[in-house]
Chains A and B, each alone.
Chain A
Amino acid sequence: MKKFVISPPIAALTLAIVLFLLSGFLPNGYGSDVDVAIAQATNIVRLAVFLGVIAAGQTLVIISGFEGIDLSAGSVVTLTAILTYTIVSGENSMVIPALLVALVVGGLVGFLNGLGVTFLKISPFVMTLGMSGVVTGTIIVINHGNISGKIAPIMTRTIARPISPDIPIPGAIVIWLIFGVFMWLLLERTTFGKNLFAIGVNRVTAKLSGVNVTWTNIGAYALAGSLTGFGGFLLVGNTGVVFIALGQPYLFPAIAAVAVGGTLLSGGKGSYWGTMAGAIVLTLITSLLTTMQMGEAVRRMVLGATLLALISIYGRQRSLRQ
Chain B
Amino acid sequence: MIKRISWNLLITRYPAFFSTILLIVVLIVNAIVQPNIFKLDTLNGNMRIFLPLILLAVGQTFVMICGGIDISVGGIVSIINTILATQVGLNGSIEQMWKFVLISLLAGMLAGAINGFFIAILRLQPIITTYATGFIYAGFALFLLPNPGGGIPRVAADIYRTTTPLGLPLAFFVIIVVLLIWWYLRSTRYGRFLYAVGGNKESAYQSAVPVTWVILSTYVISGLMAAFAGIAITLLSGSGNAEIGNTMTLSSITAVVIGGTAFSGGIGGVAGPILGSITLGLIQNVISFAQINTWWETLVKALIIVVALAAPGVINLFGRRK
> Chain A: which residue is nearest B301 at the CB level?
A133
Residues of B within 8 A of A136 (CB): 298-299, 302
Q: In the complex, how many angstroms separate the beta carbon of B256 from the nearest chain A beta carbon? A: 9
Q: Give chain B's interface residue range (CB within 8 Å of chain A).
A: 35 or more
Q: In the complex, how many angstroms separate the beta carbon of A111 from the nearest chain B beta carbon? A: 15
Interface string of A293-319 (1 = CB under 8 A from B): 001111111111101100110011111
Q: Is the CB of B301 within 8 A of A307?
A: no
Report if B76 contacts A (CB, 8 A). no
| B 100-150 contacts with A by CB, 8 A | 118, 122-125, 127-129, 131-140, 142-143, 146
Q: In the complex, how many angstroms separate the beta carbon of A120 from the nearest chain B beta carbon? A: 3
Report if B309 contacts A (CB, 8 A). yes
> Chain B: which residue is nearest A127 at the CB level?
B309
Report if B295 contacts A (CB, 8 A). yes
Residues of A within 8 A of B140 (CB): 297, 301
Q: Is the CB of A131 within 8 A of B306?
A: yes
Report if A252 contacts B (CB, 8 A). yes
Q: Is the CB of A256 within 8 A of B123?
A: no
Alpha-carbon distance A255/B317, docked complex (angstroms) = 31
Alpha-carbon distance A266/B316, docked complex (angstroms) = 26
Report if B175 contacts A (CB, 8 A). no
* Residue in contact with A129 in the complex, picked from B122, B133, B253, CB distance below 8 Å: B253
Q: Is the CB of A308 within 8 A of B118?
A: yes
Known: A259-B125, A312-B118. A123 touches B299 (CB 8 A): no
Q: Is the CB of B303 within 8 A of A134?
A: yes
* Residue in contact with A315 in the complex, picked from B128, B142, B310, CB distance below 8 Å: B128
Residues of B within 8 A of A304 (CB): 132-137, 139
Alpha-carbon distance A3/B295, docked complex (angstroms) = 58
| B 271-309 contacts with A by CB, 8 A | 295-303, 305-306, 309
Q: In the complex, how many angstroms separate the beta carbon of A118 from the nearest chain B beta carbon? A: 10
Report if A60 contacts B (CB, 8 A). no
Alpha-carbon distance A321/B253, docked complex (angstroms) = 31
> Chain A: which residue is nearest B202 at the CB level?
A320
The dominant DSSP class at the A interface is helix
Q: In the complex, how many angstroms separate the beta carbon of A309 from the nearest chain B beta carbon? A: 9
> Chain A: which residue is nearest B142 at the CB level?
A297
Alpha-carbon distance A140/B301, docked complex (angstroms) = 13
Q: Is the CB of A130 within 8 A of B253?
A: no
* Residue in contact with A130 in the complex, picked from B132, B136, B302, B317, CB distance below 8 Å: B302
Interface centre among A69, A137, A298, A318 (most CB of B within 10 A): A137
Alpha-carbon distance A311/B305, docked complex (angstroms) = 33
> Chain B: which residue is nearest A258 at the CB level?
B128
Residues of B within 8 A of A130 (CB): 254, 302, 305-306, 309
Known: A308-B118, A311-B125. A298 touches B139 (CB 8 A): yes
Alpha-carbon distance A312/B211, docked complex (angstroms) = 20
Report if B250 contacts A (CB, 8 A). yes
Report if A34 contacts B (CB, 8 A). no
Alpha-carbon distance A255/B130, docked complex (angstroms) = 12
Alpha-carbon distance A136/B298, docked complex (angstroms) = 7
> Chain A: which residue is nearest B141 at the CB level?
A297
Residues of B within 8 A of A317 (CB): 123-125
Q: In the complex, how many angstroms separate the beta carbon of A135 from the nearest chain B beta carbon? A: 8
Residues of B within 8 A of A315 (CB): 124-125, 128
Q: Is the CB of B133 within 8 A of A144?
A: no
Report if B236 contacts A (CB, 8 A). no
Known: A119-B317, A141-B296, A300-B135. A312 touches B301 (CB 8 A): no
Report if B16 contacts A (CB, 8 A). no
Interface string of A258-271 (1 = CB under 8 A from B): 01000011100000
* Residue in contact with B205 in the complex, picked from A69, A132, A320, CB distance below 8 Å: A320
Given A125-B69, A318-B123, 19 more A-B residue pairs with CB atoms under 8 Å apart are A120-B317, A122-B309, A122-B310, A127-B309, A130-B305, A131-B306, A133-B298, A134-B302, A140-B299, A141-B295, A252-B131, A301-B140, A304-B135, A304-B136, A305-B132, A312-B118, A319-B123, A320-B201, A320-B202
Task: List 17 A-B pairs, Cβ < 8 Å.
Answer: A122-B310, A123-B262, A130-B254, A130-B306, A130-B309, A133-B305, A265-B125, A265-B127, A297-B140, A301-B135, A301-B136, A304-B133, A304-B136, A307-B128, A308-B129, A312-B122, A320-B205
Residues of A within 8 A of B (CB): 67, 69, 116, 119-127, 129-134, 136-138, 140-141, 144-145, 252, 255-256, 259, 264-266, 295-305, 307-308, 311-312, 315-321
Which 9 A-B residue pairings sit nearest by Cβ, starting from the closest? A137-B299, A133-B302, A120-B313, A300-B139, A304-B135, A301-B139, A123-B263, A304-B136, A297-B143
